[in-house]
């Protein structure tokens, strides 16, 4: 499909790719890389200040983006979303320890 325009496949939803950046620590990177998968879809939840949020499922990867002098190291996380839903109240979805 050589075209400068976006092409759609019928009956396939147009789902986004979510990209995130987080501070690199060994603990952060180990936790994220241990959870995210290129093959197995995983659940993710973004919580907004008002308690609502976005629940999405997808596959993805994380990597160390780099370091700059005098700044914290950065990591990136990209998730190819297969489904997503707005959640009015995320309080029942968050585990408390």
More confident: 24 or 2: 24
Q: Which pLDDT band holds residue 77 (cuts at 50, 70, 90)?
A: very high
pLDDT at site 62: 96
Query: Quick check: 3 pLDDT over 70?
Result: no
More confident: 10 or 88: 88
CA neighbor of 53 nearest in space, from 27, 5, 89, 12: 89
Over residues 11-62, the pLDDT tens digits come to: 666 678 999 999 999 999 999 999 999 999 999 999 999 999 999 999 999 9
Burial category of 80 from C-beta neighbours within 10 Å (exposed 0-12, middle 13-18, buried 19 and up): middle
Task: Supply angle C-alpha 50, 51, 56, rounded to 5.
Answer: 120
Answer positive or negative: Cα dihedral of 77, 58, 12, 53: negative
Determine the Cα–Cα distance for residues 62 and 38; give it in Å rounded to an integer.
Answer: 10
């Amino acid at each position: 499909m050589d075209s400068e325009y976006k092409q759609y496949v019928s009956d396939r939803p147009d789902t986004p790719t979510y990209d995130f950046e987080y501070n690199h620590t060994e603990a952060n990177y180990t936790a994220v890389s241990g959870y995210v998968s290129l093959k197995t879809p995983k659940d993710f939840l973004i919580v907004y200040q008002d308690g609502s949020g976005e629940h999405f499922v997808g596959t993805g990867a994380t990597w160390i983006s780099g370091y700059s002098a005098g700044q914290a190291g950065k990591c990136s996380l990209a998730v190819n979303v297969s489904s997503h839903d707005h959640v009015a109240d995320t309080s029942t979805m968050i585990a408390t320890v």
